[in-house]
Each structure stands twice: as structure tokens, then as C-alpha cells.
Chains A and B, each alone.
Chain A
Amino acid sequence: DMKVTQMPRYLIKRMGENVLLECGQDMSHETMYWYRQDPGLGLQLIYISYDVDSNSEGDIPKGYRVSRKKREHFSLILDSAKTNQTSVYFCASSLSIGTVSSYEQYFGPGTRLTVL
């Protein structure tokens, strides 16, 4: 069963604390993504990773960093979280770089992060 998992599903942190969001996929997909979703803004791309230790900034990378040490695992890190980083974060993965199939992304269930 093809799946993208995210942990934790819900997280409450205080401003200034560090945050680690984790994502895993069991499909051997090369490309993985982190998005945030806010009302009225849709899905905004934070980072893309096209393989281990090969990451590229998306549209809103400021305040975030990522880590990919294994193909099946992709982490999003917030160093010193801010209240405006309260959001729902989605991880996704896709296969077949360079073809139209690479746009067919499989999403995880999301992590709802609240920064107080």
C-alpha cells in the first residue's frame, strides 16, 4: 500500500523553541516536498528534495531548513519557531523526474503546528 506518513500529527510549541517535523514514504520516490497550507493561500512550497542531500528552495524557504539522509525520509526543521509559522504542513513525494508523472504528488496526512 503506497503511503506517505507524517509525525507528529499535532504539535504545540512555544515561540523560540525548535521544531522537527518528520516524513516518510514507502514508494522509493526520488522527489519529496514540504508545503504549508494556510486559509486563502492554498499550498505553498517550502523545499524540494530530489535525492539524498540534494535539496532546493521552494517559494517560501525563509525560517525553514530540511534534511534528507535516506531516500525514504525527509525532515523539516524550524530553528526558533515563530508565531507566524503556525500552519498545517504537508509532505509529498513523486516519481519519474523529468516526465509529466513527476507532477503526480502523493501527500501525507499533514501536521498541524501551533506556535504560541
Chain B
Amino acid sequence: GDSVTQTEGQVALSEEDFLTIHCNYSASGYPALFWYVQYPGEGPQFLFRASRDKEKGSSRGFEATYDKGTTSFHLRKASVQESDSAVYYCALGDRGSALGRLHFGAGTQLIVIP
């Protein structure tokens, strides 16, 4: 079945470092891909999406490019801030479902040290 793999369980960076969180997916065709962010004590919230090959999604300084060739949708940010500390989830939209079902990765906790 469709699935998403996030290889880093936790990433620790200093402020102004460059961020990469890896996301790879397994699915047929061109599923919609998403990033969600969850701040401490809150529910996840939608960050951005991409729906076709080479499309770039972006929001709040974060970006990711849909790459069908490598089945990836890596999250990047040029300069992280302490306020970016959160858990980031990569997700894939189930194309077999009309009900908006998402398959989430296990999540990556980002810790930014001031």
C-alpha cells in the first residue's frame, strides 16, 4: 500500500543553520504530497502541498519540490529559528480514496538551539 518514510526521527540544529528533512514515498502515479507541522501542545497544521512532478510547495520560508524520479519531497529551510522547533510530518494523499485520506510519515522532531 501507499506509504511515506521519514528517515530522521530527530534533527538538532543551531539558529540560522540550513534544514533538510528527508521524505520518500511509495505509491503509484502522482499522489499529492504534503507537509504538516505540529507545535508543542497543538494539533498538526497544514504547511503546504504539491501535486505534480517538479512542482514546488512553500510556506513560512519552508519549501519542498516534488520529485517523481527519486520519489521524494524533502523539506528545506535556509535559516531556521528557535520558533521553528516542532514536529514535521510528511504525508501522501491516497489516490484510491475520495475521502481525503492521508498517509502520514512517522514525523521528524526539529530542535533549534538558540
Q: Which residues of A are interface residues toward B (Cβ below 8 A)?
A: 4, 31, 40-45, 48, 50, 56, 58, 90, 92, 94, 97-98, 100, 102-110
Cα–Cα distance between A55 and B21 once the two chains are bound (Å): 34
A111 to chain B, nearest CB (A): 10
Partner of B46, one of A43, A45, A104: A104
Cα–Cα distance between A28 and B46 once the two chains are bound (Å): 18
Is the Cβ of A108 less than 8 Å from the Cβ of B100? no
Chain B, residue nearest A43 (CB): B104
Is the Cβ of B45 less than 8 Å from the Cβ of A107? yes
Partner of A100, one of B41, B45, B49: B49
The count of chain B contact residues (Cβ–Cβ below 8 Å) is: 23
Cα–Cα distance between A31 and B93 once the two chains are bound (Å): 15
A50 to chain B, nearest CB (A): 5
Cα–Cα distance between A98 and B104 once the two chains are bound (Å): 19
A102 to chain B, nearest CB (A): 3
Is the Cβ of B106 less than 8 Å from the Cβ of A42? yes
Is the Cβ of B44 less than 8 Å from the Cβ of A107? yes
List, in ascending order, chain A residues with CB within 8 A of B43's CB: 4, 90, 92, 107-110
A97-B98, A97-B100, A100-B51 are known; give 17 further A-B pairs, CB within 8 A.
A31-B99, A43-B89, A45-B101, A45-B102, A50-B99, A92-B43, A94-B100, A97-B99, A98-B98, A100-B32, A100-B49, A103-B49, A104-B49, A105-B44, A109-B41, A109-B42, A110-B42
Is the Cβ of A41 less than 8 Å from the Cβ of B106? yes
List, in ascending order, chain A residues with CB within 8 A of B98's CB: 97-98, 102
List, in ascending order, chain A residues with CB within 8 A of B91's CB: 103
Pairs of residues from A and B, 10 with the lowest C-beta to C-beta distance, nearest first: A107-B43, A102-B100, A42-B106, A43-B104, A103-B93, A42-B104, A94-B100, A104-B46, A42-B107, A98-B98
Evaluate whether A40 and B9 lie within 8 angstroms (CB atoms) in the complex, with A103-B34, A103-B93, A104-B46 already known: yes
Cα–Cα distance between A105 and B51 once the two chains are bound (Å): 16
Cα–Cα distance between A103 and B2 once the two chains are bound (Å): 15
Is the Cβ of B99 less than 8 Å from the Cβ of A90? no
